[in-house]
């Protein structure tokens, strides 16, 4: 599948990994930024070119490898299992101006009206939405400022994970990853979700100032620009408060129902986001599940999926500067790219 990027290169956020050229099956060393032995797939710390140099025979050579075809199949299953998504009558958006590629950096508001004309806020009383929304105000958006995580915020994380794991969608995702020998039990899966998404690391000078969840869903400000912020619920709530100003969109997905996909330009309290790709109308568990699937199956690479018969890809990056557990990597970011 050919991918058309909807995003800017995030080079200023992530260190470039080393190459696996000439390093296949090299013994693990904690000093290495990325690895080239058979265990790196399980720990999500392979170099980006591991598959090219060390796995020429392809994914199907390993009994628990996740093949491209299986990704297409399981993503369709998750799409069908998103029972909490918005119905067509729940949301009305007004995309207005479509920006060309050379206009996305202009920081010019070409859409006088808000993006959201209407959202049925009864959606937000569903348990996964309600528990998700409680997490959004737990973060200092500026990188370089230490996160002060309270006992209440830890309970909110646990509650969100408990609610999403009640859904058919996340149960299907766990069953698939269990079958692929990634997790031995649901408890192990939930514990790993908490670490990979909510575990803190430093995007600044050593402060525990960031996490995958904060970056992807809540959004951050780094070097005067919006970083991450790929969630429609967060956008809607801030736009309603007057904190977000929608400028334009550069991509609209082919779906005639929800979840749809939009690539958009906006300002958040004066900080600009040049291209923020996001699902529109999906449940929190849908995004959380798809990003998790792609982070586990294709870390650092385009992850090709199928949703309602349409092709879509998700890009994830691992955080290369710190680890948890036995060398596992945190989520640095995850977002939609068109395909």
Span 120-152, pLDDT tens digits: 999 999 999 999 999 999 998 888 888 889 999
Residue 223, pLDDT > 60, answer yes
What's the mean per-residue pLDDT of the chain?
Answer: 90
User: Per DSSP, which regions of 225-327 are E strands?
Assistant: 225-227, 244-252, 260-268, 271-280, 302-307, 310-324
* Domain limits, the chain: 13-56, 68-337
Helix-helix angle 168-179:284-297, to 10 degrees: 10
The verdict on whether 53 is a catalytic residue reads no
Q: Is the pLDDT of residue 8 over 50?
A: no
Q: Which residue has the higher pLDDT, 23 or 138?
A: 138
Q: In the prediction, which pLDDT does 3 show?
A: 52
Q: What's the Cα-to-Cα distance from 202 to each of 2, 44, 142, rounded to whole Å? A: 34, 19, 12
CATH number, span 13-56 = 4.10.410.20
- Label residue 6 by pLDDT band (50, 70, 90): low
pLDDT at 12 over 70: no
Catalytic residue, candidates 230, 249, 304, 329: 230
230 classed as catalytic: yes
Q: Would the pLDDT of 200 be above 70?
A: yes
Which tens digits make up the pLDDT trace of 84-93? 999 999 999 9
Question: Quick one: pLDDT band at residue 16, thresholds 50, 70, 90?
Answer: very low
Is the peptide bond preceding residue 259 cis, with omega within 30 degrees of 0?
A: yes
- Token digits for 279? 């699902």
Determine the Cα–Cα distance for residues 289 and 59; give it in Å rounded to an integer. 22
* Span 150-186, pLDDT tens digits: 999 999 999 999 999 999 999 999 999 999 999 999 9
**Quick one: which of 273, 287, 313 has its CA closest to 5?**
313
Residues 180, 64 contacting (CB under 8 angstroms): yes
Q: What is the pLDDT of residue 30?
A: 79
304 has catalytic annotation: no
Main-chain phi, psi angles of 220, to 5 degrees: -130, 165
Residue with tokens 């670490």: 195
Catalytic hit among 35, 43, 222, 273: 273
The CA-atom distances, in angstroms, between 174 and each of 47, 79, 124, 296 are: 25, 15, 25, 12
| Percentage of residues in the chain having pLDDT higher than 90 | 72
Catalytic choice (43, 85, 215, 249): 215
């Amino acid at each position: 599948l050919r991918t058309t990027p909807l995003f800017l290169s995030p080079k200023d956020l992530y260190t470039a990994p080393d190459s696996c050229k000439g390093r296949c099956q090299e013994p693990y060393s904690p000093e290495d930024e990325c690895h080239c032995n058979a265990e790196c797939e399980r720990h999500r710390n392979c170099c980006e070119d591991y598959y090219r140099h060390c796995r020429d025979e392809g994914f199907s050579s390993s009994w628990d490898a996740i093949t491209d075809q299986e990704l297409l199949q399981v993503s369709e299953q998750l799409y069908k299992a998103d029972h909490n998504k918005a119905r067509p009558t729940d949301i009305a958006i007004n995309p207005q101006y479509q920006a060309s590629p050379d206009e996305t950096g202009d920081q010019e508001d070409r859409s006088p009206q808000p993006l959201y004309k209407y959202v049925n806020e009864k959606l937000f009383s569903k348990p996964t939405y309600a528990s998700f929304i409680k997490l959004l105000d737990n973060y200092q958006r500026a990188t370089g400022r230490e996160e002060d995580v309270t006992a209440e915020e830890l309970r909110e994380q646990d509650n969100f994970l408990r609610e999403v794991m009640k859904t058919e969608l996340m149960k299907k995702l766990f069953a698939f990853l269990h079958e692929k020998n990634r997790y031995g039990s649901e408890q192990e899966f939930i514990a790993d979700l908490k670490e990979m998404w909510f575990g803190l690391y430093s995007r600044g000078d050593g402060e525990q100032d960031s996490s995958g969840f904060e970056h992807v869903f809540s959004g951050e400000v780094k070097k005067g620009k919006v970083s991450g912020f790929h969630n429609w619920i967060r956008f809607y709530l801030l736009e309603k408060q007057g904190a977000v100003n929608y400028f334009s969109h550069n991509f609209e997905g082919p779906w005639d129902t929800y979840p749809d996909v939009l690539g958009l330009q906006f300002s958040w309290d004066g900080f600009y986001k040049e291209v923020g790709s996001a699902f529109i109308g999906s449940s929190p568990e849908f995004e959380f599940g798809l990003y998790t699937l792609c982070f586990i199956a294709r870390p650092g690479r385009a992850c090709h999926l199928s949703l309602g018969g349409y092709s879509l890809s998700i890009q994830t990056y691992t955080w290369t500067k710190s680890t948890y557990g036995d060398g596992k990597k945190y989520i640095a970011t995850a977002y939609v790219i068109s395909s």
